[in-house]
Chain A
Amino acid sequence: MPQMNMVQAINDALRVAMSADRRVVLLGEDVGKVGGVFRVTAGLYDEFGADRVIDAPLTENGIIGAAVGMAMYGMVPVPEIQFADFLWPAYEQVVNELSKYRYRSGGEFSASMVIRTPVGGGIRGGHYHSQHPEVQFVCLPGIKVVIPSNAHDAKGLLLSAIADPDPVVFFEPKRVYRAAKGEVPSGDYRVPLGKAAVVRPGRDITVLAYGAMLYEALDAASKVAKQGVECEVIDLRTLWPVDIDTIVSSVKKTGRVAVVHEAPRTMGFASELITLVCEKAFYHLEAPPLRITGFDTPFPYALEAEYMPLSHRIVPAVLQAVRSG
């Protein structure tokens, strides 16, 4: 089986989807000739032509608005927003149009598409190339939100997202774009949406993570294991609809839960996950749930390693939760 990094795996998924279905089109800033600023779409312009790999003008609201129209026509657009930080001009189209089309038309129209966008910090990108705005999409009825952590899942999840009848925001953790290497099957295969993966079983505490922070959670888990604490690390993979069954059954087993994410803490996704755990497994909890997250500041440039919830912050938090309970 070929070894690929996440960039290559996503590229391969797009090639598989475009080869199988001529309705699949890509559009975005610099996605064509240059293959995207991260080279995720490299080679596709030559293979599928300028009509299907469209170098768009610099207009995020135009790209997503046009993609909504294309989807209504019956195409399967996979627009790229160059950085998740640049999604906001398109947010009106996502909030008021894309997420509501099926509902507001009583099922007459829908706009199935996948918005791909690199996300997250740790690349010295400052405020505007580092943010992790998943909650602004998780909170929208009608939208699904996906984030892979590895090459195998990236391809399989993207192919599922492209085939899905609902609009999907597909976050790509750019910090591990090239570091997350692994075996990737050739051809079409699917990793189902809505299914988390227990990537490290353990008995003492459930650690929920996704995207680039999964690796920090795993690193912390191996460190605390040396002190006899066993983390059960879960890669959420789909943020919404989240795999509640896997989370709840894990917490019922471990009695503790920590959520790790890069985004700011207040109203972060951890708040929703912990509320769900409290609603469904409160009497199984043996310690207060933990939020190990970015701080409630704009994403800082020089101090990004201090801002992000890297393993050095996860280790003591987890140890304290396990020992105090």
Chain B
Amino acid sequence: MKSQEYFDSRYPIWRVLRDDGTLDPELDPRISVQDVVHIYRYLVLTRTLDRRLTALQRQGRVGFHVGSLGEEAAIVGAAFALRESDWIFPCYRELGAALIRGLDLQRFIDNMFGNRNDTVKGRQMPDHYTCREKKFVSISSPVGTQITQAVGFAWGAKIDGQDLATLVFFGDGATSTPEFHSGMNLAGVFKVPTIFLCRNNGWAISTPTSQQTASETFAQKGEAYGVPGIRVDGNDLFAVIAAVRLALARIEAGEGPTLIEALTYRMGGHSTSDDPDRYRGDEQLRPWQERDPLERVRQYLVLHGAWDDAKQQRLDREHDENFKRAVARAEATPPPSLESMFDDVYAELPWSLREQKEQLLQGPRAPKGH
């Protein structure tokens, strides 16, 4: 799609970071250069992990990875813009949001390996981590189920008189689920303090947005629910932060939810199990490569004298070393205990699970290699 088409729509795209690296003063969220450096480190970390984990998956060392190549600014920027009190309801592509919130790298890598130190006890696929202490909710694979939950969480807090918001991430595909409809509708009717952040990355696995909806934009879907929608350049860190801050200001004024459509692009496959060459060509990637969200932030920082090649090399080395150390430790950690399979199904083991646990422990072990 040509960028001009966006500007012709009823939902113009917010852009703050101009091509020359300067900011539009009208929408500038006024982030200190120091903070931009802080965010940039997480943008780079997220991308480094994507690259490294994809390689590990190809080597057969981790089972799976779902990355966010090209979408980092929308993800990390939105998380940065939140207040400490606010909760994140992720889809499965928001590693950067968890990291900038403070998810420990080792904890994440242990989840990728499903080992004994994995806090979700090796029960889920890789990239399905949880981090309650950083207000980052448990990840599930079904698309959209977190949307109504994010609304319920914020609604509960509202009933309880607590000042917090939830931000729910989802992709463009999720807007076709009943959860999107129900969540937007409930949030609209009850003025629930939820920020709906749709990462319009162009694709739901192989299905393009044109086959996901006949709406001209995703932002306009909010109108039907009485939820204001805004569209931002999702590859513009500053625009994403400005939009989330505007949504928070609306929440603080008691005005309820906002839908943000962040226009970005899934530069990689849906996951390591996907081969995007089957359904799209390089020519579709090229315009987005030119709008790489990381490059744009780096250009900004260089312009402000806050970044240079030496710093970049140091950061890359630091991330690489931390990653290697975490992987070495995770690979040396044994799998979860057999007994742990039965924990946490119920608060207490019912008789049926006590019996089955006994059967497993006394029975034959699965052959190696499974």
Which A residues have a C-beta under 8 Å from some C-beta of B?
23, 25, 51-52, 54, 56-57, 59, 61-62, 64-75, 77, 89, 92-93, 96-97, 100-110, 141-142, 144, 164-166, 194, 240-241, 244-245
Q: Are A62 and B145 in contact (CB under 8 A)?
A: no
Q: Are B132 and A57 in contact (CB under 8 A)?
A: no
Q: Are A166 and B346 in contact (CB under 8 A)?
A: yes
Q: Are A66 and B186 in contact (CB under 8 A)?
A: yes
Q: Which of B223-277 contact A (CB under 8 A)?
A: none
B191 to chain A, nearest CB (A): 12
Kindly identify which residue among A59, A105, A108, A194 contacts B185, using a CB–CB cutoff of 8 Å: A59
Tell me, yes or no, whether B334 is within 8 Å of chain A by CB: no
Tell me, yes or no, whether B321 is within 8 Å of chain A by CB: no
Kindly identify which residue among B120, B145, B182 contacts A106, using a CB–CB cutoff of 8 Å: B120
Tell me, yes or no, whether B209 is within 8 Å of chain A by CB: no
Contact status of A59 and B182, CB under 8 A, knowing A104-B140, A105-B132: yes
In the assembled complex, 7 residue pairs joining A and B whose CB atoms fall closer than 8 Å, in A order, are A25-B159, A61-B178, A61-B179, A61-B182, A66-B155, A66-B186, A73-B153
Indicate with 1 or 0, residue by residue over B153-181, a CB within 8 angstroms of chain A CB atoms: 11111011000001000000000001101
Kindly identify which residue among A51, A72, A108, A194 contacts B149, using a CB–CB cutoff of 8 Å: A72
Q: Are A96 and B186 in contact (CB under 8 A)?
A: no
Q: Are A106 and B121 in contact (CB under 8 A)?
A: yes
**In the complex, what residues of B have CB within 8 A of residue A101's CB?**
138
Kindly identify which residue among A70, A92, A110, A240 contacts B155, using a CB–CB cutoff of 8 Å: A70
Q: Are A61 and B148 in contact (CB under 8 A)?
A: yes
Q: Are B151 and A66 in contact (CB under 8 A)?
A: yes
- In whole angstroms, what is the CA distance A61 to B119 when docked? 29
B330 to chain A, nearest CB (A): 16
Indicate with 1 or 0, residue by residue over B328-370, a CB within 8 angstroms of chain A CB atoms: 0000000000000001111100111000000000000000000
Kindly identify which residue among B128, B156, B350 contacts A73, using a CB–CB cutoff of 8 Å: B156
Q: Are B159 and A52 in contact (CB under 8 A)?
A: yes
Q: Are A102 and B152 in contact (CB under 8 A)?
A: no
**In the complex, what residues of B have CB within 8 A of residue A52's CB?**
159
- Closest-by-CB residue of A relative to B182 is A62
**In the complex, what residues of B have CB within 8 A of residue A106's CB?**
118-121, 123, 130, 344
- In whole angstroms, what is the CA distance A70 to B347 when docked? 19
**In the complex, what residues of B have CB within 8 A of residue A104's CB?**
120, 123-124, 128, 130, 138, 140
- In whole angstroms, what is the CA distance A217 to B205 when docked? 54
Q: Are A65 and B153 in contact (CB under 8 A)?
A: no
- Closest-by-CB residue of A relative to B139 is A104
Q: Are B185 and A62 in contact (CB under 8 A)?
A: yes
Q: Are B145 and A97 in contact (CB under 8 A)?
A: yes
- In whole angstroms, what is the CA distance A93 to B142 when docked? 10
- Closest-by-CB residue of A relative to B168 is A69
**In the complex, what residues of B have CB within 8 A of residue A61's CB?**
148, 178-179, 182
A8 to chain B, nearest CB (A): 27
Q: Are A97 and B140 in contact (CB under 8 A)?
A: yes
Contact status of A57 and B130, CB under 8 A, knowing A97-B140, A106-B123: no
**In the complex, what residues of B have CB within 8 A of residue A164's CB?**
347
Kindly identify which residue among B138, B186, B190, B352 contacts A109, using a CB–CB cutoff of 8 Å: B138
**In the complex, what residues of A have CB within 8 A of residue B285's CB?**
none
Tell me, yes or no, whether B137 is within 8 Å of chain A by CB: yes
- In whole angstroms, what is the CA distance A245 to B352 when docked? 11
- Closest-by-CB residue of A relative to B185 is A57
- In whole angstroms, what is the CA distance A160 to B231 when docked? 48
- Closest-by-CB residue of A relative to B352 is A241
Q: Are A97 and B351 in contact (CB under 8 A)?
A: no
Q: Are B344 and A241 in contact (CB under 8 A)?
A: no
Contact status of A62 and B347, CB under 8 A, knowing A73-B157, A104-B123: no
- Closest-by-CB residue of A relative to B142 is A96
**In the complex, what residues of A have CB within 8 A of residue B119's CB?**
106, 108
Kindly identify which residue among B142, B166, B183 contacts A62, using a CB–CB cutoff of 8 Å: B183
Q: Are B344 and A102 in contact (CB under 8 A)?
A: yes
B122 to chain A, nearest CB (A): 9
Q: Are B151 and A165 in contact (CB under 8 A)?
A: no
Tell me, yes or no, whether B302 is within 8 Å of chain A by CB: no
- In whole angstroms, what is the CA distance A75 to B156 when docked? 6
Tell me, yes or no, whether B297 is within 8 Å of chain A by CB: no
Q: Are A70 and B138 in contact (CB under 8 A)?
A: no
**In the complex, what residues of B have CB within 8 A of residue A57's CB?**
182, 185-186, 189
B316 to chain A, nearest CB (A): 32
- In whole angstroms, what is the CA distance A23 to B159 when docked? 9
**In the complex, what residues of A have CB within 8 A of residue B131's CB?**
108
**In the complex, what residues of A have CB within 8 A of residue B160's CB?**
23, 73-75
**In the complex, what residues of B have CB within 8 A of residue A103's CB?**
123, 344-345
- Closest-by-CB residue of A relative to B128 is A104
- In whole angstroms, what is the CA distance A180 to B121 when docked? 46
**In the complex, what residues of B have CB within 8 A of residue A67's CB?**
152
- Closest-by-CB residue of A relative to B166 is A69
Residue among A56, A74, A103, A166 with most chain B CB within 10 A: A103
For the complex of A and B, 7 pairs with smallest distance between CB atoms? A69-B152, A65-B148, A62-B182, A66-B152, A241-B350, A73-B156, A70-B156
Q: Are A51 and B159 in contact (CB under 8 A)?
A: yes
Q: Are B145 and A93 in contact (CB under 8 A)?
A: yes
Kindly identify which residue among A25, A66, A142 contacts B148, using a CB–CB cutoff of 8 Å: A66
Known: A73-B157, A194-B350. 8 other contacts (CB 8 A): A59-B182, A68-B148, A69-B148, A102-B346, A106-B120, A106-B121, A106-B130, A141-B345
**In the complex, what residues of A have CB within 8 A of residue B294's CB?**
none
**In the complex, what residues of A have CB within 8 A of residue B91's CB?**
none
Tell me, yes or no, whether B150 is within 8 Å of chain A by CB: yes
A42 to chain B, nearest CB (A): 21
**In the complex, what residues of A have CB within 8 A of residue B123's CB?**
103-104, 106
- In whole angstroms, what is the CA distance A194 to B118 when docked? 32
- Closest-by-CB residue of B relative to A244 is B351
A134 to chain B, nearest CB (A): 16
Q: Are A89 and B178 in contact (CB under 8 A)?
A: yes
